[in-house]
Each structure stands twice: as C-alpha cells, then as structure tokens.
Amino acid sequence: MNEKKLKPKKGLSRCLELAADKKGLVIGSMILSSLAAIASFVSYLAIYLIIREIIQIYPDFSLLDVKVIMSYAWFAIAGIFANILIYFLALLCSHLAAFGTLYELKIIFAKHLTKIPLGYHYLIGSGRMRKIMDENIESIEGFIAHQLPDLVASFTAVVVMMIILLAIDWRYGLVSMFGIVLAVLTQFLGYGGKEAKKNMQNYQTALEDMSSASVEYIRGMSVIKAFNQGGGFFKKLDAAFERYTQFAIAFSMGWKNWMPAFTTIINNIYLFLIPLGIYLAKHTTNYPAFVTTFIFYLIFVPSIAGVLNKIMYISESFMKINGDVARMDEILNIPENKEALHSSSIKDTAIILDHVSFAYDKKEDIKALDNVSFKIPQGKITAIVGPSGGGKSTIANLICRFYDVDAGNIKIGDVDIRDLKTAALMETISFVFQDTFLFKISIKENIRIGKPDATDEEIIRVAKLAQCHDFIMKLPQGYDTLIGVAGTYLSGGEKQRITIARAMIKNAPILVLDEASSFCDIENEYDSKSA
C-alpha cells in the first residue's frame, strides 16, 4: 500500500509549523486575542441596556434609576479595561513566540547555508540571499507577533458581531449581514483570486531582483569606474527598478481597484437598516422596543467597518507572508551535502580522481569536467595548468567537496571523500580561494581563523613564510590593524598573502591553492612557493 504523500504546508499553516517550538505561546496568544475581541463588545451591550432603560421611562426622566445606569456604565468600563489587559497579554505571548521563532529560524538558515553546495550561493546571489535571511524571515516574526493575534481577534469579532446582530433582532441582523457579505466578496475578489496571487509573486520576485542588482552595483563600483561602464551597469540597475515599479503597480492596483467598492459598502452598511426601520415602524405597536433596537443598530453597525478594514489589511499581509515563506523554504529545501554515516580514517593523503564528471547547470548538462582521471601523489607539489575555463577551479572545489561529483569519485588515499565526515575532510584540507576574502577584524584574527588556538609566535612565523610580515609591521597597529570599515584597506596582493598565511597556519596535510598567487608580484610568488 502506497503512503499518501503530504503536500508541503504554506502560508499560515507553515508559519505555525515554524513556530512549533513556541506552540504554547502561540496558542495562548490566539486564545487571549479571542477573549480580548469578545471583551471589546461588552461596552456595546452596556450601551444597548442603557438605551433601553432611557427609552422605557421616556419622557419622564425622573423615573430614571441612576444606580442601574451607573452599573451598566461600570460594566462598559470593565469591558474596556479587560479588552486592553487581555490584548496586552496576547501581544506579550505573541512577541515572545515571534522573537524565539526568529532566533531559531536565523540559526537554522545560517547553518543550512554552510551545508548546501557552494554553487547555490553563486546561483542565488548575495543580494537575494541577504533579503531572504533578513527581510523575509523578519516578516515571519512580524506576522506571528502582530498580524496573527489581529487575525484571530478580527475573525472572532466577526463571529461575535453576527451573534449579536441576529440575537437582538434577526431582521436587522440579516440586513446588516447582507452588507457584510458584499464587503467580504469584494475583499476576496481583490485578494483571493489567481491574478492577485500572481501579482504578489511577481512583485516579490522583482523586489528580490532589485535588491540583488543594487548589491552587485555597489560591490562592483570600483570595476565599473575603472572600465568606465557606469552607464551600462546603471541601465541594468534602472531596468531592475523599472521591473519592480511595474509589478508593484500591478500588485497594488490589482487589489486597490476593489478598494472604493469595499470602503463604500462597509462605511454605509447602516443605510441598509433605514428602509427596514421605516417598514417596521409602520407595523409595530411597541415603539419603545422599536426605538431601542433601531438606535442600537445604528450605533453598533458602523463598528463593523473597523473590523472589516483590519481584516483587509491583514489579508494583504497574509498574501505577502505566503510569498516570504515560499522563498525561505526555497532555500531551506536545497539539498544539503550528504554527511557520511561513519567516519573513515585517512592513512594516505594522495588524491585520486577516478572518471569524474561534473556540470554546474544540471539542466543544460554543459560539463565542466568529463570523465577526468588522474592522481596527485602524497607529499608532492602538483600544478594543474590549462586555459581559462578548463576546469582548474572546478577540480579544486570538488576536492574540497564544495560540490559533489555527478559521476565517478574522488578519493584521498583509498577513502572516498563522500565517506568522510565534513569535519574530518576540512581537517585534512586547507584551501586558498581565487577570490580573496578577509573579515572586518584584525589581521591577527584573520590569520588565526585557520587555527583558533594559534599563538602570536605561530602567526608571525606563517606570516613570514607567506611574505606578508614586513608590510604588516609597517601598518599603524601591526598585526592588530583592523581591515575594512573603520580600518585599513589592503591591496589585492597583500590580502592574498594574508589568506595564504591563514591556510598555512592550519597545517593540514593537503593544501589546495586556486590561483592563489594571481595578485602577487613575481618575486613574492617565487618566495611563497619556496616556503
């Protein structure tokens, strides 16, 4: 018997799933929000009772029982304070749940990014990745903290309203509900249709593309200026802005076209009551009861507008959260590199590529490597030479298992690298990237990343071997000099030599250099290789 495959959760259900560790707080917030919504109607019931007392003794107000009126007034005040207190507790629970969920999601997302193949980082782009990690995840936090309690409270309020409308006088209730149904229908047409969902999806995609284009434009400013390509790249950025504007307008107009109808209906529901009131006035014999009920409905029905307005804006947030959750899950669903179940021991550090094939784009199947086999002996310096795009960097990345091979296997000694735990593999290999990257910390701490417990003497020793000690000592704070923002900016060759020192201090049996000397002058390149 085949098990039925469950559909992945989306939107609200997915948000609740993400907040599962804070389930108690979320449920507590929802219950308290409902109670707060119920408490908000106590004052309206008190008003109804007060109107009834006044109408019954009209026109002889000397018969008015002030004590009864004051008891109803205190009843209304108690309802207001109960609403404020309970809703405060609801928001307290929702915020605690939201902040806890935000923290856990950030940790989960950050850990996941370290486990997915490196190629996805290039494919997705840093701008889009930053937006998803920051804005999209934080929007989930905002939804749980604010929109979810309001959503529960609003729907509870609608149910309580309908009960009150039908309980006091079902005829006025049905007429009022006719206006509510019309308002909800316009709301659904504005938010619930396929076109609205498509517009929201296009809008969010355009927003991510704009963010990515902006980050690329800013990060590549030095290259743009050096090659006088400001106009061309600005056109690309402008095109991203234009696409965003286009889809933002389409999204906005898609639901705002229904706004006039929605606003007109909810703000004028009481008008439906007037014809009915005139008809009932002609056919009633109990005028005090008629006047009491009619006045109450004229006061009560306009409050429906506030509730439906809130639902409308929550619906907009609900559409957005669907897209935010989907984009976050798009990253979280990227398969991680499979971790070895058993850690194998490495006795020999010779590297063997056995009929290795690999393609970056699996759909296009344009192979970067096709049936490649060779051996790199232990304890030897091996250089892989070839034209640009020939697969040199690909080989380096595959050896470090930044990607998994499509066919064949890569072994260190007689152990397939896929049978090695990631920690064990990283202890065996040290890597110098073609594109240098230094953190905005001191030079000393940048080098110490390769060996967190390294002494200052060890750092100086590898710095000398990497031919960077001399220029470091010329800096204002020497090895304590900060790099980047509020610190010192280094040349490409200086940064590359520091990264070489960082790789050397790790003292791994295998050192992979991906064109690590491309920024070095001839003398330093020779000295570094000699070291």
Closest CA to 303 of 43, 116, 29, 16: 43
Local confidence pLDDT in tens for the 531 residues of the chain: 344 444 666 666 777 777 877 888 888 999 999 999 999 889 888 888 888 888 888 777 777 788 888 998 898 899 999 999 999 999 999 988 888 888 888 888 888 887 777 667 766 666 667 777 777 777 888 888 888 888 888 889 888 888 888 888 888 888 888 877 777 777 666 555 566 666 666 666 777 677 667 766 666 665 555 555 556 666 777 777 777 777 666 666 555 556 666 677 777 777 778 888 888 888 888 888 888 888 888 888 888 777 777 777 776 677 677 777 877 887 888 777 777 766 667 778 888 989 988 887 777 667 888 888 989 898 888 888 888 778 888 888 888 888 888 889 998 888 888 888 877 888 888 888 777 778 888 889 989 988 888 899 999 999 999 889 999 898 888 889 888 654 567 777 888 888 899 989 988 888 888 875 554 554 444 444 444
Distance CA(369)–CA(386), nearest Å, equals 13
Angle between helices 259-267 and 170-191 (to 10 degrees): 170
User: Residue 328: its pLDDT value, please?
Assistant: 81
Q: Tell me if the bond preceding 8 is cis, omega within 30° of 0.
A: no
Mention every residue, 6+ apart, whose C-beta is less than 8 A from residue 431.
396, 400, 503, 511, 512, 514
Sorted by sequence, the CB contacts under 8 Å of residue 186 that are 6+ apart come out as 258, 261, 262, 265
The whole-number pLDDT of residue 32 equals 94
Q: How many Å apart are CA 145 and CA 101, to the nearest integer?
A: 10
pLDDT for the residue numbered 101: 84
458 token code pair: 């060890």
pLDDT of the residue at 123: 66
pLDDT score for 3:
42
Confidence (pLDDT) at 2: 44
**Cα 239 versus chain centre, distance:** 25
Q: What domains, with CATH codes, occur in the chain?
A: 11-332 (1.20.1560.10), 351-530 (3.40.50.300)
pLDDT, one tens digit per residue, over 347-382 is 788 889 899 888 877 776 678 888 889 898 988 888
SS3 assignment, position 264: helix
Cα separation, 291 vs 462, whole angstroms: 93
| Structural contact between residues 182 and 264, judged by C-beta atoms closer than 8 angstroms | no
353 by DSSP, 3-state: which? strand
- Specify the pLDDT at position 1: 38
CB 423 within 8 A of CB 337: no
* Phi, psi torsion values for 341, nearest 5 degrees: -75, -35
- The amino acid sitting at 61 is F
pTM comes to: 0.63
The token pair that represents 60 in the structure block: 């002889």
How far is the C-alpha of 529 from the C-alpha of 372, rounded, in Å?
27
Structure token digits, residue 296: 């109450």
pLDDT value of residue 519:
46
How large is the angle between the packed helices 148-168 and 66-115, nearest 10 degrees? 150
pLDDT at position 10 is 67
Let me know: does 401 contact 418? Beta carbons within 8 Å.
Answer: yes
Strands across the sheet containing 415-416:
367-376, 351-359, 407-412, 415-416
